[in-house]
Structure 1
Amino acid sequence: MHWQGCDVAFLTQHGKQHLVGPPIEAALGCRILHTEGYDTDKLGTFTHELARPGSQMDAAREKARIGMALTGSSIGIASEGSFGPDPVGGFVPWNTEVLLWIDQKQDLEITGWAHGHAQSLQKPIQSLQELELFALEAKFPEHRLTMRPSHEDHPAIIKGIHNVPSLMEAFERCRSQSNNGLVYVENDLRAFCNPTRQNIIRNAASDLIQKLQSLCPACDAPGFWVDRRIPGLRCRVCGRKTRLPISEVWHCQICKMQEERAIHTKALADPARCDHCNP
């Protein structure tokens, strides 16, 4: 195995090592070196104190780099999440997680991805009745909450609210500090506070493991995976090519070998997916 007995740095301060460490160690035979030697909130927070300066991947690379520097390991992993509307209708809260693996000696970078419905609600409220309804919808107390006075950018934020007494205390404190009678409450999106997000992080770890265990048929390097998909599946009604894929191109980062593989799913495309039949 490529990483049997190797130390792998993992910088996280939100408990992610418990989610991804055991399956990765079991699959690869490596050792996860957890470190909290850097405040990852400096790379951006979900609660607006500090905006993420770059992309999701930029933040993951920086976390991996810092983790490797702190531990002295040449291999590192990093986890980074993002939240927004779903990519289809734009109405459902959506969570995208990336788990990045970097091996400096092999000049290798492999990513595991997972996506899914997010438990990510936010709302300005005024009364205890509104708070009770929001807490139910936000799946509290299994999912923790954050609260702040007045609006979503107020600096006096209370995080990690996890039971009814702390919820009531936070509400009264924020209401007393509010200049407009509103209290802004939302799901706490940090990994240890949000079980829904935890499941998506686990799925990203599974995706990463599959890619790490996929070896190039030419040079045996790990990370042999789909680089792009080639469209052209023909429509069942008109016979024209659609944008649906007909094959995949697999790629090796090390020797640059490429291999086209047919996708054996449907023989023909549904006309609903055809730009000619359904313009």
Structure 2
Amino acid sequence: MSRDEFAHNLFHNRTGVLATMHRKEQAIRPVLAQIGMQIVVPEALNTDEFGTFTREVERTGDQLQAARLKAEKAMALTGLDLGLASEGSFGHHSSIPFLACDRELVVLIDRQQDLEIVGQVISTDTNYSQQQVTTLESAIAFAQKVGFPSHGVVAMPEAHPLPGSPIFKGITDESQLVDAVTELLRQFGQAHLETDMRAMHNPTRMKVIAQATQDLVTKMSQCCPQCGYPGFTAVERQAGLPCALCQFPTALPLAVTHRCQKCDFSSVSYFPNGQEFADPAQCSYCNP
């Protein structure tokens, strides 16, 4: 049996539980079906207990830790030994500060094989945005800018509302928007609007979750050269790709280390992006 066949057989015809209450199965299930994995969604799971985008509940741990906790809770509820969860994070791009980005993780925990594999995508394809308004006209203009009504909107008194403040989520039609903003303007003289980043109200985010799931499937097929187990993925990246003009090391990756979580075998690959030199535009010496 080849390594690819071995990895495929580890997950084919198995059932995994997906920790979601926001319909993420719509993005994740079709991708995993490509490798013959079945997905179920537990009815009694409240993923909001691990954190909410609207800040009522602070996220438990970092992004990966929160996803792990969700998957583990779903496995505990169902008794299944294969669990999945996704977690998103939104903010400014680390390399392009004026661009918003969406970092999506999809984690798979396999207790039968003692494996954890994480798919990841960082995408600038997002409508993530927020704005403080003092008129209904400004509120409607903001909503139109972020793809309303196919993309939902959230309204609250301010960016960091006090406990007990009214928060209107899942606004997906103009009458809801008008009612919510009118009430906030009456009570507070202002309204803070932001995109509803929950998956079921954000088709753009759903697409990125599907991309992260595809990355997960790719990593599930990357097998350790020594023991053959899947999940032989990058654990460390070394910067220093030399500039093509002056040979000065740049911030671009020179090498990447892959490691097996099963047998701990590791290997280093140079020039991971298929290029041996960096464009001088990326060099802090040639282009300070």
Partner residue, 1:39: 46
2:29 & 2:91 partners in 1: Cα distance?
27
For the 8 Å contact 1:68–1:74, the answer to whether it is kept is yes
Mark the CA change 1:151 to 1:114 in structure 2 (over 3 Å): closer, same or farther.
Answer: closer
| Equivalent position amino acid for 1:129 in 2 | E
Mark the CA change 1:136 to 1:248 in structure 2 (over 3 Å): closer, same or farther.
Answer: same
Q: Does 1:205 align with 2:213?
A: yes
1:128 & 1:232 partners in 2: Cα distance?
51
SS of 2:26's partner is: helix
Partner residue, 1:123: 131
String of CA shifts for 1:28-72, please: whole Å, max 9, x gaps.
x12112113221111111111111131111100100110110110
SS of 1:170's partner is: helix
2:158 & 2:257 partners in 1: Cα distance?
52
Alignment partner of 1:167 out of 173, 177, 192: 177
String of CA shifts for 1:224-263, please: whole Å, max 9, x gaps.
1222234443332233444433333222111122223333
What stretches of structure 2 of length at least 5 have no aligned partner? 1-8
1:248 & 1:120 partners in 2: Cα distance?
31
TM-score (norm 2): 0.89
Partner residue, 1:82: 89
| Equivalent position amino acid for 2:280 in 1 | P
2:181 & 2:252 partners in 1: Cα distance?
51
Aligned residues: 276
| Equivalent position amino acid for 2:181 in 1 | F
Mark the CA change 1:171 to 1:244 in structure 2 (over 3 Å): closer, same or farther.
Answer: closer
* Identity of matched residues, %: 36
Partner residue, 1:147: 155
SS of 1:192's partner is: helix
Please, which moves more after superposition, 203-212 or 183-192? 183-192
Mark the CA change 1:239 to 1:5 in structure 2 (over 3 Å): closer, same or farther.
Answer: same
SS of 1:2's partner is: helix
Q: Does 1:17 align with 2:25?
A: yes
Runs of 4+ in structure 1 displaced over 6 angstroms? none
Superposed displacement of residue 99, structure 1: 0.3
Partner residue, 2:280: 271
Superposed displacement of residue 275, structure 1: 4.6
C-alpha root-mean-square deviation of aligned residues, in Å?
A: 1.9
1:51 & 1:166 partners in 2: Cα distance?
27
For the 8 Å contact 2:136–2:182, the answer to whether it is kept is no
| Equivalent position amino acid for 2:19 in 1 | L
What stretches of structure 1 of length at least 5 have no aligned partner? none
TM-score (norm 1): 0.91
Superposed displacement of residue 12, structure 1: 0.5
2:181 & 2:251 partners in 1: Cα distance?
51
